[in-house]
Amino acid sequence: MEKASFILENNDSVCNVFSGKKLNEEIVKYLIELKKAKYVIVTDSKVKELHGDTLLKQMNAAGLDSFLISFREGEKNKTRETKAFVEDEMFKEKCGRDTIIIALGGGVVGDLAGFVAGTYMRGIPVVQIPSTTIAIADSSMGGKTAIDVPAGKNLIGVFHQPIAVFMDPELLKTLDDRNYKSGLIEMVKHGIIRDKEFYEFFKENLKIVLAREGEEYERIMEKIMFDNIKIKKDVVVEDQRESNLRKVLNYGHTIGHAIEKLSNFDLLHGEAIAIGICVEAFLASKKNILSEQDFLEQKELIETLGLETRIPKEISTKDIIELMKLDKKARGGMPEFSLVKEIGKYFEENGKIAKRFSLEDLEEVIEDYRNLN
Ligand SMILES: NC(=O)c1ccc[n+]([C@@H]2O[C@H](COP(=O)([O-])OP(=O)(O)OC[C@H]3O[C@@H](n4cnc5c(N)ncnc54)[C@H](O)[C@@H]3O)[C@@H](O)[C@H]2O)c1
Ligand SMILES: [Zn+2]
């Protein structure tokens, strides 16, 4: 098992990170030491059946005063109503300030349970047990919590760092193939922007990562999950020191988000970001920021991962441009990009990470990209 404690500066809190197989015993041991009055597992309907009930049983057997609250799985339930439901269940169980929430699930559970924890009686601690590749790669570290509202996704939330994150490759074995692969793209992204060694290790072990079986998988995944979260942590910590570094995480996301929205969310987030990374790498190569070879390298890895790299035919270049113009980070109608200059190194110019291009330039690049395939 890999283990580390990270100091996250905005509230001086320590976040303990564990990566390894069959972690439930470790989780229970950790929770006992916290000596809380109440332990609440928050999860969704699917993860409850697959993993939640087992953890609850183990916690109760260890003498922890624990119970489980589950809500219907799916992004459409990351709402105010669900948040209120979870809070009211906690009040029914007489949870006071001496309660801890254990968020067991994907990004939806992590975001919602994290938000409940951030506001319940002005804030109680949360432990994250991410069970999807997206949650492991991205949402369990960084402290962002949120719900969706009719006006848009993730518009209401707070920053609330978890006190611990437990990552167990065993949980990922029950995840469907599409969700599994698409979440891996955020890990690949972390390598591309910050860490060539990590990128190479991921690439070398891709077959094992995709096979999801045997001891080798657990050993490799334990390392990948751990190294990945360290990259994300470093970015978040440096960002807190006013460097604005968090922007590098947007690589692939300016175009990726537009494609995700224009697919009416038929594409999973990671599937759209995979295409976004390819187009943005192509953009960087066209602008002589990145070599053509490093653009092709990224595209090939994404293809080997089994993800689509072509922009869907039904989505027009004009619509992508229109949507990017409206992006909240666009200024003067020019969207903002976080690019890379080589694998493992994000692009920066005069201390600025973001780069803007005219809409005419972007239209041309996107059209050229479409003609490549
Ligand atoms: N806070 C952040 O920094 C951050 C970062 C990235 C994404 N997010 C959020 O994360 C959400 C997406 O996360 P997600 O893709 O994990 O979605 P999700 O939580 O909806 O999980 C996807 C599906 O997989 C199921 N599932 C979860 N774990 C499983 C397992 N081990 N086995 C079988 N099925 C399992 C879920 O029930 C669900 O049906 C979005 O709401 C997004 O906004 C937040
Ligand atoms: Zn993302």
Q: Which domain holds residue 15?
A: 2-173
In a domain, 53, yes or no: yes
Residue 12 has pLDDT above 90, yes or no: no
What's the pLDDT tens digit per position in 68-87?
Answer: 999 999 999 999 999 999 99
Which of 77, 179, 228, 250 is the catalytic position?
A: 250
In a domain, 84, yes or no: yes
Residue whose Cα lies nearest atom 10 of ligand 1: it is 107
What's the pLDDT tens digit per position in 166-189?
Answer: 999 999 999 999 999 999 999 999
Burial tier of 301 (Cβ tally within 10 Å: 0-12, 13-18, 19+): buried
Q: Are residues 162 and 289 in the same domain?
A: no
Which contacts of 319-327 are long-range, i.e. CB under 8 A and separated by 24 or more positions?
319/258, 319/262, 320/255, 320/258, 320/259, 320/262, 320/366, 321/359, 321/362, 321/363, 321/366, 323/258, 323/261, 323/262, 324/254, 324/255, 324/258, 324/359, 324/362, 325/359, 327/254, 327/257, 327/258
Q: What's the whole-number average pLDDT of the chain? A: 95
In a domain, 88, yes or no: yes
Which ligand is nearest to the Cα of residue 187, counting in written order? 2
In short, whether 142's Cβ falls inside 6 Å of ligand 1 is: yes
In a domain, 6, yes or no: yes
Instruction: Give the per-residue pLDDT at 226.
Output: 96
Q: Do the Cβ atoms of 205 and 224 come closer than 8 Å?
A: yes
Lookup: tokens for 271: 């599937």
Ligand 1 atom closest to residue 73's alpha carbon, by position in its atom list: 37
Instruction: Give the per-residue pLDDT at 11.
Output: 58
Instruction: Give the per-residue pLDDT at 208.
Output: 97
In short, whether 186's Cβ falls inside 6 Å of ligand 1 is: no
Ligand 1 atom closest to residue 75's alpha carbon, by position in its atom list: 20
Last residue of one domain, picked from the residues 158, 173, 188: 173
Tell how far CA 155 is from the center of its chain.
17
In a domain, 201, yes or no: no
Q: Are residues 51 and 142 in the same domain?
A: yes
In short, whether 128's Cβ falls inside 6 Å of ligand 1 is: no
Tell me the average pLDDT across 303-327. 95
Q: Are residues 58 and 157 in the same domain?
A: yes
Instruction: Give the per-residue pLDDT at 278.
Output: 98
Entry pTM: 0.96
Active-site annotation holds for 186: yes
Which of 36, 48, 186, 299 is the catalytic position?
A: 186
**DSSP single-letter state for residue 232:** H
Instruction: Give the per-residue pLDDT at 9.
Output: 63
Residue whose Cα lies nearest atom 12 of ligand 1: it is 107
Active-site annotation holds for 51: no
Which of 94, 122, 241, 328 is the catalytic position?
A: 122
Residue whose Cα lies nearest atom 22 of ligand 1: it is 106
Last residue of one domain, picked from the residues 145, 173, 201: 173
Active-site annotation holds for 246: yes
Active-site annotation holds for 212: no
What's the pLDDT tens digit per position in 136-165?
Answer: 999 999 899 999 999 999 999 999 999 999
Residue 317 has pLDDT above 70, yes or no: yes
In a domain, 260, yes or no: yes
What's the pLDDT tens digit per position in 193-240?
Answer: 999 999 999 999 999 999 999 999 999 999 999 999 999 999 988 887
Residue whose Cα lies nearest atom 18 of ligand 1: it is 106
Last residue of one domain, picked from the residues 128, 143, 173: 173
Question: Taking the CA of residue 373 as centre, how many other CA atoms within 13 Å lie in the half-sphere pointing to its CB?
Answer: 18
What's the pLDDT tens digit per position in 82-113?
Answer: 999 999 999 999 999 999 999 999 999 999 99
Number of domains comprising the chain? 2
CATH of the domain at 309: 1.20.1090.10
